[in-house]
Amino acid sequence: MATARGRLQIMNPNFLSLVVALSLLLVISSAKVFFEERFDDGWESRWVKSDWKKDENMAGEWNYTSGKWNGDPDDKGIQTSEDYRFYAISAEFPEFSNKDKTLVFQFSVKHEQKLDCGGGYMKLLSGEVDQKKFGGDTPYSIMFGPDICGYSTKKVHAILTYNETNHLIKKEVPCETDQLSHVYTFILRPDATYSILIDNVEKQTGSLYSDWDILPPKKIKDPEAKKPEDWDDKEYIPDPEDKKPEGYDDIPKEIPDPDAKKPEDWDDEEDGEWTAPTIPNPEYKGPWKPKKIKNPNYKGKWKAPMIDNPDFKDDPDLYVFPNLKYVGIELWQVKSGTLFDNVLVADDPEYAKKLVEETWGKQKDAEKAAFDEAEKKREEEESKNDPADSDAEDGEDDSDDAEGDDADDDAKSESKEETEDVHAHDEL
Ligand X SMILES: *[C@@H]1O[C@H](CO)[C@@H](O)[C@H](O)[C@H]1NC(C)=O
Instruction: Tell me whether residue 233 or residue 317 sits nearer to ligand X (CB atom).
Output: 317
Task: Name the residue nearer to ligand X (CB basis): 112 or 426.
Answer: 112
Q: Can you tell me the distance from the alpha carbon of 369 to that of 128, in angstroms, rounded to the nearest whole number?
A: 44
- Shortest Cβ distance from residue 65 to ligand X (Å)? 4
Q: How many C-beta neighbours within 10 Å does residue 326 have? A: 24
Nearer to ligand X, 68 or 154 (CB): 68
Which of 29, 163, 385, 413 contacts ligand X by CB under 6 A? 163
Residue 413 CB, shortest distance to ligand X, in Å, is 25
- DSSP summary character for residue 59: B
Looking at residue 349, its amino acid is P
Whose Cβ is closer to ligand X: residue 80's or residue 342's? 80
Q: How far is the CB of 315 from ligand X (least distance, A)?
A: 6
Q: Contact, 107 vs 142, CB < 8 A?
A: no
String marking each residue 48-87 x if it binds ligand X according to CB under 6 A: ---------------x-x-xx------------x------
Does position 399 bind ligand X by CB under 6 A?
no
Q: Nearer to ligand X by C-beta: 81 or 338?
A: 81
Contact 183, 200 (CB under 8 A): yes
Name which of 116, 130, 198, 16 is nearest 410 in CA terms. 116
Q: How far is the CB of 22 from ligand X (least distance, A)?
A: 42
121 among annotated binding-site residues? yes
- For residue 293, the Cα-to-chain-centroid distance in whole angstroms is 46
Q: Any known ligand binding at 330? A: yes
What's phi and psi for 8, nearest 5 deg?
A: -60, -45
CA dist 119 and 221 (Å) reads 39
Count of residues of this chain found to bind ligand X when the rule CB under 6 A is applied: 6
All residues at 6 or more sequence positions from 289 whose CB lies less than 8 Å from its CB, including other chains: 238
Work out how close the CB of 107 gets to ligand X at its nearest, in angstroms, rounded to a whole number: 19
Closest approach, Cβ 73 to ligand X, in A, equals: 9
CA dihedral 106, 111, 117, 123 (to 10 degrees): -20
Report the residue number, 368 or 423, with the smaller CB distance to ligand X.
368
Q: How many CA atoms lie within 13 A of 236 on its CB side?
A: 5
Nearest to 104 by CA among 344, 361, 356, 358: 344
The answer to whether the annotation marks 319 as part of a ligand binding site is no
| CB contact at 8 A, 86 and 329 | no
Distance CA 329, CA 335 (A): 16
Q: Does 114 participate in binding ligand X (rule CB under 6 A)?
A: no
Is 162 annotated as contributing to ligand binding? no
Q: How far is the CB of 420 from ligand X (least distance, A)?
A: 27
Binding-site members for an alpha-D-glucoside are 121, 123, 140, 147, 330
Which residues form the interface with ligand X (CB under 6 A)?
Answer: 63, 65, 67-68, 81, 163
Binding-site members are 121, 123, 140, 147, 330
